[in-house]
């Protein structure tokens, strides 16, 4: 168990170092972040897990990512091109780690719709549309009876991917599964 937690922390070590080198976080803040991350990872290695364990970890990481984003924006105004690229890399690493947590949560609790909806909302806010396309495929395969997910996926295809054909196909597939759904017919 400790090896798995250490492996995850080792994967995050370059981003912690980069955040310290860029002055985004002080060394004391980085130590605190590493300790808190280690604690959350140990919680996720328990045998008996709850969706709230993942939610607490995600909330912590999202709050940390927002703070990091604000600090990067302040510093990037007078930064060189290399520093701006480093800031973007740091942001990308944070978002990837949050997605990694969500992936573990949704694999452990595939029927927990609250986790799926917060994951989808997070990806929409961050405009990570390529990841979102895969997530919609997974969630619709696992929960084909959820009309709201079909509608969200079709709206995403139409408005974000600018793909009316795919949106129409999603609605038609949903209508084959839910022939009597007035809401789906109306949205279609």
Q: Supply the pLDDT for residue 124.
A: 92
Q: Are 188 and 157 a contacting pair, CB within 8 Å?
A: no
- pLDDT (tens, 9 = 90+) of the chain, 188 residues, equals 788 888 888 898 889 898 888 888 999 999 999 999 999 999 998 889 999 999 999 999 999 999 998 988 888 777 788 888 888 888 889 999 999 999 999 999 998 999 999 999 999 999 888 899 999 999 999 988 888 888 899 889 888 888 889 888 888 888 888 877 778 787 77
Q: Supply the pLDDT for residue 71.
A: 87
Q: Are 40 and 101 a contacting pair, CB within 8 Å?
A: no
Q: Supply the pLDDT for residue 58.
A: 94
Q: Supply the pLDDT for residue 34.
A: 92
Give alpha helix (H) positions in the chain. Answer: 2-22, 27-44, 51-76, 81-108, 113-126, 129-142, 147-159, 164-177, 182-187
Query: Which 8-state DSSP code applies to residue 26?
Result: -
Tokens matching residue 188: 């279609």
Query: Which 8-state DSSP code applies to residue 47?
Result: S
> Dihedral of the CA atoms 105, 106, 110, 112 (nearest 10)?
70
| Maximal C-alpha separation, the chain | 59
Q: Are 39 and 105 a contacting pair, CB within 8 Å?
A: no
**Burial of residue 141 (number of CB atoms within 10 Å: 0-12, 13-18, 19+):** exposed
Q: Supply the pLDDT for residue 88.
A: 87
Give 100-131 as a DSSP string.
HHHHHHHHH-TT-HHHHHHHHHHHHHHT-HHH
pTM of this structure: 0.88
Q: What is the pLDDT of residues 139-168, one digit of tens each?
A: 999 988 888 888 899 889 888 888 889 888
Q: Supply the pLDDT for residue 100.
A: 94
């Amino acid at each position: 168990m400790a090896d798995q937690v250490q492996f995850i922390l080792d994967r995050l070590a370059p981003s912690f170092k980069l955040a310290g080198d860029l002055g985004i976080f002080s060394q004391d803040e980085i130590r605190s972040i590493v300790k808190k991350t280690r604690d959350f990872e140990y919680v996720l290695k328990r045998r008996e897990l709850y969706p709230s364990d993942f939610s607490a970890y995600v909330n912590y990481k999202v709050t940390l990512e927002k703070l990091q984003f604000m600090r990067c924006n302040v510093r990037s105004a007078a930064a060189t091109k290399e520093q701006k690229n480093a800031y973007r890399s740091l942001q990308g690493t944070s978002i990837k780690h949050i997605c990694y947590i969500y992936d573990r949560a949704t694999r452990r609790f595939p029927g927990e719709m609250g986790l799926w909806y917060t994951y989808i909302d997070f990806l929409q806010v961050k405009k990570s549309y390529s990841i979102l396309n895969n997530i919609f495929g997974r969630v619709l395969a696992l929960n084909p009876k959820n009309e709201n997910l079909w509608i969200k996926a079709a709206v995403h295809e139409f408005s974000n991917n600018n793909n009316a054909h795919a949106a129409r196909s999603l609605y038609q597939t949903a209508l084959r599964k839910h022939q009597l759904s007035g809401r789906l017919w109306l949205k279609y």
